[in-house]
Amino acid sequence: MTEAEARTIERLRAGAGTYACGGYLAALDGLQRTEICTALIFDRLQRKMRTVETLHGEADGNWNQTFYLLYFRTLGDRQNQEAFLRLARKVPYKIVLRERLAPHAVEAMLLGASGLLELYRGDAYTLDLRRSFEYLAAKYGIEATDASEWTLTEIRPANHPVLRLAQAAEFFAQDEFIMERAMACRTEEDVRRLFCIEAPSYWRTHHVPGAESDESPKRIGAFKANIIGINLVAVLQFAYGSYTGSERLRDSALTLLERLPAEDNRYMRAWQAAGVRPRNAFESQALLQLATEYCAARRCAECPVGRRIAKSLAEAGEERTNR
Would you call 300 helix, strand, or coil by DSSP? coil
How high does pLDDT run on average in the chain?
92
> Which of 295, 315, 322, 244 shows the shortest CA–CA distance to 5?
315
> What is the per-residue pLDDT for 318?
56
Q: What dihedral do alpha carbons 100, 102, 108, 113 form, nearest 10°?
A: -20
Q: What is the spatial distance between Cα 261 and Cα 230, in angstroms, rounded to a whole number?
A: 9
> What is the per-residue pLDDT for 148?
94
Per-residue model confidence as pLDDT tens digits over 159-186? 999 999 999 999 999 888 899 999 999 9
> What is the per-residue pLDDT for 193?
96
The whole model's pTM is what? 0.92
Tell how strand 206-208 and strand 211-212 pair up: antiparallel
Per-residue model confidence as pLDDT tens digits over 17-54? 899 899 999 999 989 999 999 999 999 999 999 999 99
Check: CB of residue 306 under 8 Å from CB of residue 21: yes
Per-residue model confidence as pLDDT tens digits over 280-318? 999 999 999 999 999 999 999 999 998 888 888 766 655
> What is the per-residue pLDDT for 320?
57
- Neighbouring CB atoms inside 10 A of 223's CB total 11
Arithmetic mean of pLDDT, 261-269: 95
> What is the per-residue pLDDT for 314?
64
Q: What is the spatial distance between Cα 169 and Cα 199, in angstroms, rounded to a whole number?
A: 8
Per-residue model confidence as pLDDT tens digits over 65-94? 999 999 999 998 889 999 999 999 999 999
Q: Specify which residues 211 forms β-bridges with.
A: 208
Give the residue ranges of DSSP H helices in the chain: 3-14, 22-27, 30-58, 63-75, 81-90, 93-99, 103-114, 124-140, 161-173, 178-183, 188-195, 222-228, 235-244, 247-259, 266-273, 281-289, 304-322
Is pLDDT of 141 > 60? yes
Arithmetic mean of pLDDT, 99-110: 94
Is pLDDT of 60 > 80? yes
Is pLDDT of 319 > 90? no
Q: Specify which residues 206 forms β-bridges with.
A: 212
> Which of 171, 93, 91 shows the shortest CA–CA distance to 136?
91
> What is the per-residue pLDDT for 315?
63
Helix crossing, 30-58 with 247-259: angle to 10°?
A: 120
> What is the per-residue pLDDT for 174?
86
